């Protein structure tokens, strides 16, 4: 409960006590007794409303405040309490009605009532109505500069810069020259197109506070932005000779040199001084913004890359455990192809703090880049549990689970991810193609074929599905006519892929078209002569054509490329096909 409310309740309780005493002293005065009962009933419901509000029971709070107002509809506190509840719930129009009543019946110039009414007008974009309220606040407390500033902003938003300047002049009369007023007047004059007057405001501020170098930097920047280059150069040159101890002032000089010098030397020298300043004018957020803006340039400029590392080292000393800085360091390390150290660093971070999606995203992308599929599987799986609504995480997880042959996880992950990818059909189809392969690996052929059919319904030219679906049918010896139709279309779409040529040859072989199969198999090996499967397939085709010696030679070549193929050893020893 606020101090204001405590005072209000104290007054109400005092009135109750006074009423009770008067009632005892004047038992015969019926009118006085009725008035005090009237006050008592109002206070009872008002206090009940406060209890409800403090307990979060806003519905009953409003009911009790409303009952109080039926007893005395001139009490501003009850209107105010209802307005605060309605405002917090987002019902700004209703809140406005009650706030207006609070201000209307208030006889004490309660600032809280006026503030709340201003908020309701601002939320309903009725800025004109806030003007007399701000003037009321200024009249009640002329020593609060914030009210002058807010009223000037209202006039600015209403495109009335002259009125805004009058308010700011009034503030200056009250407080003297201040930065909050002078800067706002400069903006107003610029809005009016009176650049010279805006310069005068900045000069007055600079001259009023000659030891505050930030004001001198602001004037120099104003000159520079308005193409007064000689005046800007004079101010910046004088500034460089002064004893600077503010990061923002160094940053102003650095930006000036960045846009005027042919070389970056002065810029980075000043930027380093800005970053090293112990004052808090140059915030961490601003430092990170500068570094992130430099990042794209650093990718193609080794000098800037080196300077960035120096700046990052400074920030790291100041903020050693910051996650955003760690992510930036990862970006820089990746520019230097130092992926392993970044992977190690990020792995340690997520082991202690799992909250930053940005760090997980960096780590997973590095796992993928390094083709470290074991870590990709572990990290993407955990990230998918932590951030279940991020599609990109599931894309990595599905790929990793597929490569790890965790086919049940692939099926389940794609089912979930497909709900996230409804607005991205290409991603959905890519994921479904892996699900189809996973179902096939699990020997759930009916579901595998259903998924493949759905994909081809969406995209009849989807090459990986045409390849895998036709090959799987051929291996299973099912629906061979359909398999041949798909593999024929596949090589028409892409006749140069040895993988697709091999698939088509195998489908032809299963369809009993041995001569055609051999032709396409020869084409596949001509394009890739170091693939064990291709030689094995050609050996099988040749054996079926009666070319047993040539078949044996191809099988031996296949075993040479892949010595771990026990089935191939059996074929060679038996000199026969082994199913």
pLDDT reading at 485 higher than 90 = yes
CA distance 39 to 546: 113
- Per residue in 387-401, pLDDT tens? 999 999 999 999 999
What are 168-188's pLDDT values in tens digits?
A: 999 989 998 988 888 888 888
pLDDT band at 37 (very low <50, low <70, confident <90, very high): low
Length of the chain, in residues: 579
Distance in angstroms between the alpha carbons of the first and the last residue of the chain: 83
Within 280-406, residue ranges assigned H as helices are 284-298, 302-318, 323-335, 339-352, 357-369, 373-386, 391-403
CA nearest neighbour of 445 among 417, 474, 467, 416: 474
Tell me the C-alpha distance between 249 and 252, whole Å: 5
Cα→Cα distances 82→60, 66, 247, Å: 11, 8, 47
**From the CB of residue 536, how many other CB atoms can be counted at a distance below 10 Å?**
22
d(CA 319, CA 284): 8
SS (H, E, C) 193-240: CCHHHHHHHHHHHHHHCCCCHHHHHHHHHHHHHCCCHHHHHHHHHHHH
What is the rounded distance in angstroms from the CA atom of residue 20 to the CA atom of residue 36? 8
pLDDT value at residue 24:
36
User: In the predicted model, is pLDDT for residue 118 greater than 70?
Assistant: yes
What would the mean pLDDT of 523-550 be, rounded to a whole number?
95
Which among 366, 373, 329 has a CA at the least distance from the CA of 347? Answer: 366
Q: Is 17 helix (H, G, I), strand (E, B) or coil?
A: helix
The reported pLDDT for the residue numbered 38 is 52
Would the pLDDT of 348 be above 90? Answer: no
C-alpha distance from residue 227 to each of 184, 207, 408 (Å): 21, 22, 66
Confidence of residue 342 (pLDDT cuts 50, 70, 90): confident
Which pLDDT score is estimated for 336? 78
Map out the domains of the chain as residue ranges: 210-282
Residue 223, both tokens: 């000159």
Backbone Cα Rg of the chain: 39
What's the confidence (pLDDT) of residue 127?
93
Mean pLDDT along residues 319-342: 81
pLDDT the model gives residue 241: 92
Q: How far apart are CA 264 and CA 278, in angstroms?
A: 24
pLDDT over 80 at 13, yes or no: no
Classify burial at 558, counting beta carbons within 10 Å of its beta carbon; exposed 0-12, middle 13-18, buried 19 or more.
buried
Per-residue pLDDT, averaged over 223-243, amounts to 91
C-alpha to C-alpha distance for 558 and 537, rounded to whole angstroms: 9
Cα dihedral 160, 166, 172, 175 in deg (nearest 10): -90
CA angle at 123 for the pair 81 and 117, rounded to the nearest 5° = 40
Helix, strand, or coil (residue 285): helix
Please give the distance of CA 85 from its chain centroid, rounded to a whole number.
31
Q: d(Cα 504, Cα 483) in Å, to the nearest integer?
A: 9
pLDDT of 25 over the 50 cut: no
Fold of 210-282: 1.25.40
What integer best gives the mean pLDDT of the chain? 88
The token pair at 137 is 């606040």
Angle, in degrees to the nearest 10, between helices 130-140 and 145-157: 160
- Per-residue 3-state assignment (H helix, E strand, C coil) for 235-277: HHHHHHCCCCCCHHHHHHHHHHHHHHCCCCHHHHHHHHHHHHC
pLDDT value at residue 205: 86
- 37-46, 448-457, 465-474, 502-511: segment of lowest average pLDDT: 37-46
**Cβ partners under 8 Å of residue 171, min gap 6:** 145, 148, 149, 152, 178, 181
DSSP helix/strand/coil, 49: helix
Q: Write down the H helix ranges in 459-547.
A: 463-476, 480-493, 498-510, 514-527, 532-544
pLDDT above 90: percentage of residues in the chain: 65
Residues 283-293 pLDDT 10s: 999 999 999 99
Confidence label for 34 from pLDDT (cuts 50, 70 and 90): very low
Q: Are 564 and 533 in contact (CB under 8 A)?
A: no
Chain-centre distance for alpha carbon 329? 19
């Amino acid at each position: 409960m606020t101090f204001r409310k405590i005072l209000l309740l104290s007054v109400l309780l005092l009135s109750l006590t006074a009423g009770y005493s008067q009632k005892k002293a004047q038992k015969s005065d019926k009118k006085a007794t009725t008035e005090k009962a009237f006050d008592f009933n109002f206070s009872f419901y008002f206090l009940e409303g406060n209890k409800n509000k403090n307990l979060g029971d806003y519905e009953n709070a409003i009911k009790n405040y409303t009952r109080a107002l039926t007893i005395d509809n001139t009490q501003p506190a009850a209107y105010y309490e209802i307005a605060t509840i309605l405002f917090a719930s987002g019902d700004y129009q209703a809140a406005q009605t009650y706030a207006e009543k609070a201000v209307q019946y208030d006889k004490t110039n309660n600032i809280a009532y006026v503030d709340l009414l201003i908020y309701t007008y601002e939320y309903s974009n009725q800025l004109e109505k806030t003007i007399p309220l701000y003037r009321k606040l200024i009249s009640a407390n002329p020593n609060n500069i914030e009210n002058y500033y807010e009223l000037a902003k209202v006039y600015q938003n209403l495109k009335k810069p002259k009125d805004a300047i009058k308010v700011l002049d009034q503030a200056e009369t009250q407080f003297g020259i201040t930065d909050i007023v002078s800067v706002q007047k400069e903006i107003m004059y610029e809005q009016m197109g009176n650049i010279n007057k805006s310069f005068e405001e900045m000069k007055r501020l600079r001259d009023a506070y000659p030891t505050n170098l930030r004001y001198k930097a602001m004037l120099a920047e104003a000159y520079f932005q308005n193409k007064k280059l000689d005046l800007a150069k004079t101010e910046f040159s004088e500034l460089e000779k002064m004893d600077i101890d503010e990061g923002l002032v160094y940053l102003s000089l650095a930006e000036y040199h960045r846009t005027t010098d042919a070389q970056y030397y002065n810029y980075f020298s000043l930027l380093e001084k800005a970053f090293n300043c112990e004052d808090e004018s140059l915030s961490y957020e601003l430092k990170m913004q500068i570094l992130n803006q430099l990042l794209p340039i650093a990718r193609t400029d080794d000098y800037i890359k080196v300077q960035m590392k120096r700046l990052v080292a400074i920030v790291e000393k100041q903020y050693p455990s910051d996650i955003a800085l760690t992510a930036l360091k990862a970006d820089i390390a990746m520019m230097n192809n130092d992926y392993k150290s970044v992977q190690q660093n990020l792995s340690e971070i997520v082991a202690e703090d799992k909250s930053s999606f940005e760090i997980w995203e960096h780590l997973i992308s590095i796992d993928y880049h390094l083709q470290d599929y074991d870590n990709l599987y572990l990290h993407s799986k955990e990230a998918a549990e932590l951030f279940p609504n991020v599609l990109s995480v599931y894309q990595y997880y599905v790929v990793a689970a597929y490569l790890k042959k965790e086919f049940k996880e692939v099926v389940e992950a794609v089912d979930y991810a497909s709900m996230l990818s409804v607005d991205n059909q290409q991603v959905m189809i890519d994921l479904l193609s892996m699900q189809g392969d996973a179902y096939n690996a699990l020997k759930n052929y009916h579901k595998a074929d259903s998924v493949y059919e759905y994909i081809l319904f969406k995209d009849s030219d989807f090459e990986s599905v045409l390849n895998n679906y036709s090959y799987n049918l051929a291996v299973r010896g099912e629906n061979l006519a359909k398999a041949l139709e798909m593999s024929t279309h596949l090589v028409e779409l892409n006749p140069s892929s040895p993988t697709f040529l091999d698939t088509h040859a195998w489908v032809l072989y299963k369809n009993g078209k041995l001569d055609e199969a051999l032709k396409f198999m020869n084409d596949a090996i001509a394009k890739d002569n170091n693939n064990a499967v291709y030689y094995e397939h050609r050996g099988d085709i040749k054996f079926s054509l009666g070319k047993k010696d040539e078949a044996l030679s191809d099988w031996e070549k296949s075993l040479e490329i892949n010595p771990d193929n026990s089935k191939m050893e059996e074929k060679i020893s038996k000199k026969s096909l082994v199913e």
